């Protein structure tokens, strides 16, 4: 089974404008409301790719109820821990430039964390557990590491976050992490400029005990590295509609392909296709979009097996 965790979910309100005029009345030409949060995005993309998952996290109030109902309508199983107050509302504005306004997260107590951990204790060896997204200010920055250390033996932790929460999680030697190039640079307090530098610092993560590393490079594609292979994927040109959820789609596509029995290299190519399809869409990718783009993703080998 694949499970996902979203500590800081949201109800996302999308607005498309002809132009954003600050300080004046703006009228949207198109709106949409969807659940937000990186773990939730992973579950939604997995479902579209024909793989079931179970979504965990914290929700509250009518906005939390909306998230629960929305996922249920998409056929996604969820077991959320309910908090006092409202799940935050984020506003995403698409105009001449993309603008985001994110609401404040709900406070989360240690008791709330213990309730979540008791539920996660039912995961089984072999399950893949995706922890994705930012950490609310009311939780310690090492929360992902603490969760990994309390997971049942044999669960494969996947971490997609940034900053100190990612650095702390790396100490627990996760199965997979997926930083982008900037986030990788932050881990080592450096500004990574080239693909060669990206490879160098990704190798350091393998030396620290991470089993698999995917680094998204935006228009430059992505890297996939473990002790067996080091690959670079190049992406086709196309119109970028929105980058929201692209990295989450890459993770979901990669895990979905592994779940279906693909070799890691081909699963990486499929994941990059999913991330690209989302970037070319107004919403998360569909299976049809991924199938069209998948053959257009080119792989090249950076190195062979490490010795």
CA distances from residue 136 to 6, 65, 87 in whole angstroms, order as listed: 10, 20, 12
Q: What is the DSSP string of 89-154?
A: EEEEEESSSEEEEEPPPPP--HHHHHHHHHHHTT--TT-EEEEES---TTS-TTHHHHHHHHSPTT
Separation of alpha carbons 90 and 267, rounded Å: 32
Interstrand relation of 212-216 and 222-225 (parallel, antiparallel or unpaired) = antiparallel
Could you identify the residue written with the tokens 């080592």? Answer: 188
Separation of alpha carbons 48 and 51, rounded Å: 7
Token pair listed for 182: 């900037």
Beta bridge partners of 100: 92
Given the residues 12, 127, 142, 248, the one annotated as active site: 248
Query: Among residues 232, 170, 241, which one has the least CA distance to residue 199?
Result: 232
Check if 248 is active-site.
yes
Q: Which residues are catalytic?
A: 248
């Amino acid at each position: 089974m694949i499970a996902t965790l979203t500590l800081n979910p949201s109800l996302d309100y999308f607005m498309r404008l002809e132009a954003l005029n600050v300080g004046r009345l703006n009228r949207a030409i198109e709106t949409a409301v969807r659940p937000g949060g990186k773990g939730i995005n992973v579950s939604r993309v997995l479902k579209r790719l024909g793989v079931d998952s179970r979504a965990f996290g914290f929700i509250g109030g009518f906005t939390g109820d909306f998230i629960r109902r929305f996922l249920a309508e998409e056929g996604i199983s969820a077991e959320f821990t309910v908090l006092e107050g409202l799940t935050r509302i984020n506003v995403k504005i698409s105009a001449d430039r993309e603008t985001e306004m994110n609401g404040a997260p709900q406070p989360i107590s240690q008791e709330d964390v213990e309730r979540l951990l008791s539920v996660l204790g039912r995961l089984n060896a072999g399950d893949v557990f995706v922890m994705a997204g930012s950490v609310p200010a009311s939780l310690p920055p090492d929360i992902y590491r603490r969760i990994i250390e309390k997971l049942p033996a044999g669960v494969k932790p996947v971490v997609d976050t940034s900053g100190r929460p990612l650095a702390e999680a790396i100490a627990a030697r996760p199965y997979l992490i997926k930083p982008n190039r900037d986030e990788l640079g932050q881990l080592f307090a450096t500004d990574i400029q080239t693909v060669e530098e990206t490879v160098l610092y990704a190798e350091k993560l393998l030396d620290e005990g991470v089993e698999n590393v995917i680094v998204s490079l935006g228009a430059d594609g992505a890297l996939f590295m473990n002790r067996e292979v080091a690959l670079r994927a190049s992406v086709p040109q196309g119109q970028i509609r929105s980058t929201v959820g692209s990295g989450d789609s890459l993770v979901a596509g990669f895990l979905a392909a592994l779940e279906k029995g693909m070799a890691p290299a081909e699963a990486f190519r499929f994941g990059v296709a999913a991330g690209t399809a989302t970037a070319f869409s107004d919403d998360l990718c569909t299976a049809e979009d991924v199938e069209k783009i998948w053959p257009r993703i080119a792989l090249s080998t950076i190195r062979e097996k490490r010795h």
